[in-house]
Amino acid sequence: MTSDPWTRKDLLGIAELSTKEIELVLDTAESFREVSERPIKKVPTLRGKTVVNLFFEPSTRTRSSFEIAEKRLSADGLNFSSSGSAISKGETLLDTALNLQAMAPHLIVVRHSHPGVPHMLAERLEAGVINAGDGAHEHPTQALLDAFTIRQHKGRIEGLKISIIGDIEKSRVVRSNIHLLSKMGAEVTLAGPRTMMPAAVEKMGVSVAYDLDEAISGADVIMMLRVQLERHSRMAFPSAKEYFNLFGLTRDRLKKAKRDVIIMHPGPMNRGVEIASDVADGRDSVILEQVFNGVAVRMAVLYLLSGASQGEA
Amino acid sequence: MKLLVRGGRVVDPSQDLDGPFEVLIEDGHIAQVAERVKGIRGAQVYDATDLVVSPGWIDMHVHLREPGQEYKETVRTGMLAAAAGGFTSIACMPNTKPVIDNRSVTEHVASEAKKDPHARVYPIGAVSKGQKGEELAEIGDMVSGGIVAITDDGLPVRNAELMRRALLYAQHFGIPVIQHAQDLDLSRDGVMHEGEWSTRLGLPGIPGSAEDVMVARDLILTEDTGGRYHVAHLSTGRALDMVRGAKARGLAVTCEVTPHHLLLTDKAVADTGFSTQTKMNPPLRTESDREALINGLADGSIDAIASDHAPHHSDEKNLEFSLAPFGIIGLETNMSLCLEKLVRPGLISLSRLVELFSTGPARILNLPGGTLLEGTPADLTLFSLKRSVTVRAAKFQSKASNTPFEGWRLRGRPMATILGGRIVGTPPTA
Amino acid sequence: MPGELKPKKTVLNPLQMRRIVRRMAGELVERNGGADDLILIGIRTRGVPLAERLGEELKVLEGREVPIGTLDITLYRDDLSTIAPQPVLKETTLPGPIDDQLLVLCDDVLYTGRTVRAALNELLDYGRPRAVQLAVLVDRGGRELPIEANFIGKTVTAELGELVEVRFESTDGEDRVMMMEVDDSDD
């Protein structure tokens, strides 16, 4: 266990974190996982602290995970949601932020479809800002809970072969995962259709494959990403059926992976598009554990940031 | 009225001059340029010691926002900004509201500039009515009103047939067609260059190919029509290569680049933490594009540097990166930036820089300026290579302050401009 | 060096300390009529070696292994709002359910009583023990809450600026209780 304390006011992304900081979050999350296993799943640690959940984009999964985490820490969580851009309601992001500031929250958890929004808020607000997903840029708590889950099953991250498969370009989690897993010494391979692979992505220190079997072969961990095909204007892929044939993870194709491979998915899943049901529900799948671990990891993040932000009061 | 400018270093690329010359101005025109001019009795003397004296600088790509968006900038404030930046002439873009697509809007802009002139303002007219990309605008009529070129800048001329017609029709008037080269299908909803940094930041990208495919198409049309074609704000190495090749084949093709494309790259979006002052169109490109552009300055493939001065209100730029409008201002920073970052490190000579800001644009737009040839209108720019300036947008003459160069300390700055023989006034001190 | 702690005197040497722990174990057994359904809970950090040592003594006395748990009270501290950054968490592990059990909380030094208050709050979030008793190696007075120990190794009087430091062989290499004071010399 590390003993360097957490000093950042905000958690905006994984790119700027050191391995020690990442390990501190994961180690702290261990303690909170234990809290989640008690009969009374509550500690008084953030009692009296206000946490604002500012979700500009609907997200049942991430938001409820944060809400549970806040409740278990005895914090007062306030929910603000607005669908679509605040502009359409006549109020700019900055005005929303200043109004919030007037309520003096301790922490703000923000989710937005545009990259850079948490940074804008962090610069202008005294409260600590936690990025719960800014478009396709970063989703740090997701990467942390993924790493926590991997560590639980494999005991380590270093040296593992990890394949991330799907719509890499539009994924909101993949960049954070690449940063974290690479920093912790894993070998990361991205795989997906050429039309869904972002430009120059090898510069992030990953291998790229355009063939599912190549990506699966020898993998310790397989992370499947949600593929959204409804937006046909993207012209990225002709149909769900074609996608499933080329890149869908089935029991059969899984035979090429290591015997103790674990299957992950950030959710929500498109059964029968990127992943077959028998794989999603099978013995290699740790998808539900990811959700459980999400609460512990978010409790750890809230705990660590609440100390750093009050230091400036 | 006689004005003698003496004591400075005269740099006039149009006459291959660079040395301690004197310039005598009479009745608004250049009377003599010599080591020791004659007939100076009765002349007012301007002491240009320690200054460079050059033909008045011309910025051929400026957005003035009048008519219709005067809250961002007006003809007057733009003109004052030009003079403060050391420019005696600017050419302004037609994407106003309403668009400059007919004679009366052309004349409105031109006449606004003539009230208390601080710089010459040359309107550029639209290629198509309303810049809708469907029908040709009344180009002939606009030429009578004073336009010096046509463009749909802000937007590309998307329809190949329309571009072909424009290249043919403009030849009646001897004006170039200026293209904002951007394939709108390839650029989609992109907000920065598509590459390593758009991938890291998760922002939708504008690939270099969006510019290149359109330049490639237009060069073929230029060849077939024999027209005059100018690429606005060229930003990729590949487009520059194509322009170079076209010139070598004898086509009437020219191009301009902006100072920000010469100095910044797409990595700036990350380095500044998503600052909207790094958002412009075309976007900041890669380091290898940047280096290619600098080489193009030196080897003559690039004809002019122009700012693409794009003022926006601070409320508009104070938005999420994805939502903020494209563009930064440049009139009041570009001379200092180019002197500090291009001439001082020896990337190009001083004379070449002056050429890119005077002879080059004058030739492209067929303007009377850009030279100190005897008999021409006396537009001069006087600047210091030694005096430093710290960029402080709040002090700008421009209404806008959207610049990524805030706080930059630069050595070299404009000191005065002379317009038609009249000293316009010194720019504000840093 | 100024501001650092320097030793003032030894309060208990290794032999004295071992005898005291033995005596405390005996009192535990006497008070509770044996060690049959007892659970020792060490408060992190140095309550844990005390719990382990009492466990060893109870094994000798009664011939049985007493279950031992560890309790990290960080999340229940009442001073978290005043310290930043947050202290690093360590694990809490209880050997089994605590409902209806007899728990003996162990800590090295009893001072203000706030640590024990936090420990009690935390334990009660796990269940409802039959009874909770408190065993401390040193009681140095200076209570800020109405809390007292059931089993005390040694009572000392310490002043402000003095610190009672307990060392255990398993964690610090030797058994010793020292009185330390803040060095206020003007080096």
Q: What is the pLDDT of residues B7-23, one digit of tens each?
A: 999 999 999 999 999 99
Residues 6+ apart with CB under 8 A from B163: B127, B157, B177, B179, B217, B218, B221
What average pLDDT does the segment B295-304 reach? Answer: 97
| Residue C99 distance to chain A (closest CA, Å) | 11
CA dihedral B198, B203, B204, B205 (to 10 degrees): -30
- Per the rule left: phi > 0, alpha: psi between -120 and 50, beta: everything else, B31 is alpha
The position carrying tokens 């008793």 is: C133
- Beta strand B422-423 with B409-419 is antiparallel
Q: Where are the beta strands (DSSP E) in B205-316?
A: 205-206, 229-231, 253-257, 304-305
Q: Using an 8 Å CB-CB cutoff, list chain A residues near B272.
A: none
Chain C partners (3+ C-beta pairs within 8 A)? A
Q: Please tell me the predicted confidence (pLDDT) of residue C187.
A: 57
- Look up residue B307 and give its two tokens: 């700012």
Contact C87 A5 (CB under 8 A): yes
Contact C89 A2 (CB under 8 A): no
Touching, A vs B (3+ Cβ pairs under 8 A): yes
Q: Chain B within 8 Å of A86 (Cβ-Cβ)? A: no
B83: pLDDT confidence band, cut at 50, 70 and 90?
very high
- Angstrom CA distances, B30 to A211, A310, B2, B25, B421, stand at 71, 69, 10, 5, 8
User: Nearest to residue A190, comparing CAs of A166, A170, A172, A221?
Assistant: A166
Q: Please tell me the predicted confidence (pLDDT) of residue A71.
A: 96
Contact C86 A43 (CB under 8 A): no
Q: Please tell me the predicted confidence (pLDDT) of residue B261.
A: 98
The Cα–Cα gap between C175 and C166 comes to: 8
The Cα–Cα gap between C7 and C5 comes to: 7
The position carrying tokens 């194509």 is: B242
Q: Which of B200, B267, B315 to mutate to test the interface with A (most CBs of A within 10 A)?
A: B200
User: How does DSSP assign A51-99, residue by residue?
Assistant: EEEEESS--HHHHHHHHHHHHHTT-EEEEEE-SS-GGGGT--HHHHHHH
- The residues facing B44 across adjacent strands are B3
Q: Name which of A85, A135, A203 is nearest B196 (Cβ-Cβ).
A: A203
Q: Please tell me the predicted confidence (pLDDT) of residue C89.
A: 86
Q: Please tell me the predicted confidence (pLDDT) of residue A311.
A: 38
Per the prediction, chain B carries an average pLDDT of: 96
Q: Chain A within 8 Å of B322 (Cβ-Cβ)? A: yes
From the number of C-beta atoms within 10 Å of its C-beta (0-12, 13-18, 19+), residue B168 rates as middle
Residue type, B379: D
Touching, C vs B (3+ Cβ pairs under 8 A): no
- Active-site residue flag, B218: no
- In three-state secondary structure terms, C44 is coil
**pLDDT tens by residue, C136-149:** 999 999 999 999 99
**Cβ atoms A308, A107 nearer than 8 A:** no
Please identify among residues 8-67 of chain A the ones whose CB lies closer than 8 Å to any CB of chain C: 24, 27-28, 30-32, 34-35, 38-40, 42-45, 48
Please identify among residues 11-40 of chain A the ones whose CB lies closer than 8 Å to any CB of chain B: 15
| Residue A107 distance to chain C (closest CA, Å) | 14
With a cut of 50, which residues of chain C have pLDDT below it? none
Contact B202 A204 (CB under 8 A): no
> A with B: how many residue pairs have Cβ under 8 Å apart?
70
The Cα–Cα gap between B360 and B358 comes to: 5
- The residues facing B305 across adjacent strands are B257
Contact B198 A198 (CB under 8 A): yes
Residues present in chain A in total: 313
Q: Chain A within 8 Å of B201 (Cβ-Cβ)? A: yes
- Beta strand B150-151 with A262-264 is unpaired
Q: What is the DSSP letter of C63?
A: S
pLDDT for residue B42 is more than 80: yes
Q: Please tell me the predicted confidence (pLDDT) of residue A90.
A: 64
The Cα–Cα gap between A277 and A224 comes to: 13
Q: Please tell me the predicted confidence (pLDDT) of residue C98.
A: 92
Q: Which residues of C touch A (CB under 8 A)?
A: 72, 75-76, 80-81, 83-93, 121-122, 125-127
Q: Using an 8 Å CB-CB cutoff, list chain A residues near B194.
A: 199
| Dihedral over Cα of B399, B402, B408, B412: its sign | negative
Q: Please tell me the predicted confidence (pLDDT) of residue A87.
A: 42
Q: What are the phi and psi torsion angles at B318 (to 5°)? A: -90, 45
User: How does DSSP assign C78-137, residue by residue?
Assistant: TTGGGSSSPPPP---B-SS--TT-EEEEEEEEESSSHHHHHHHHHHHHH---SEEEEEEE
Contact A92 B198 (CB under 8 A): no
Q: Chain B within 8 Å of A117 (Cβ-Cβ)? A: yes
Helix boundaries (H) for chain A: 19-36, 60-72, 93-102, 117-124, 140-154, 174-183, 212-216, 240-247, 251-254, 277-280, 287-310
Q: Using an 8 Å CB-CB cutoff, list chain A residues near B323.
A: 85, 87, 114
Rg (CA), chain B: 21
pLDDT for residue B343 is more than 90: yes
Contact A311 C127 (CB under 8 A): no
Query: One of B47, B308, B315, B379 is an active-site residue; which one?
Result: B308
- Angstrom CA distances, B227 to A1, B82, B165, stand at 72, 30, 10
Residues present in chain C in total: 187
The Cα–Cα gap between C35 and C21 comes to: 15
> What are the average pLDDT values for consecutive 10-residue runs of chain A, which has 313 residues?
76 96 95 88 91 89 95 92 56 82 90 94 92 96 97 96 94 95 97 93 96 94 86 68 90 91 92 91 93 96 80 34
Q: Using an 8 Å CB-CB cutoff, list chain B residues near A198.
A: 198-199, 205
| Residue B407 distance to chain A (closest CA, Å) | 19
Contact A38 C75 (CB under 8 A): no
Contact C84 A45 (CB under 8 A): no
B427: pLDDT confidence band, cut at 50, 70 and 90?
low
Q: Name which of A7, A32, A42 is nearest C125 (Cβ-Cβ).
A: A42
The Cα–Cα gap between B156 and A257 comes to: 50
Contact C88 A306 (CB under 8 A): no
**Cβ atoms B276, B321 nearer than 8 A:** yes
Residue type, C24: M
Chain A residue closest in CA terms to C85: A307
- Look up residue A208 and give its two tokens: 């790229």
CA dihedral B335, B337, B338, B341 (to 10 degrees): 160
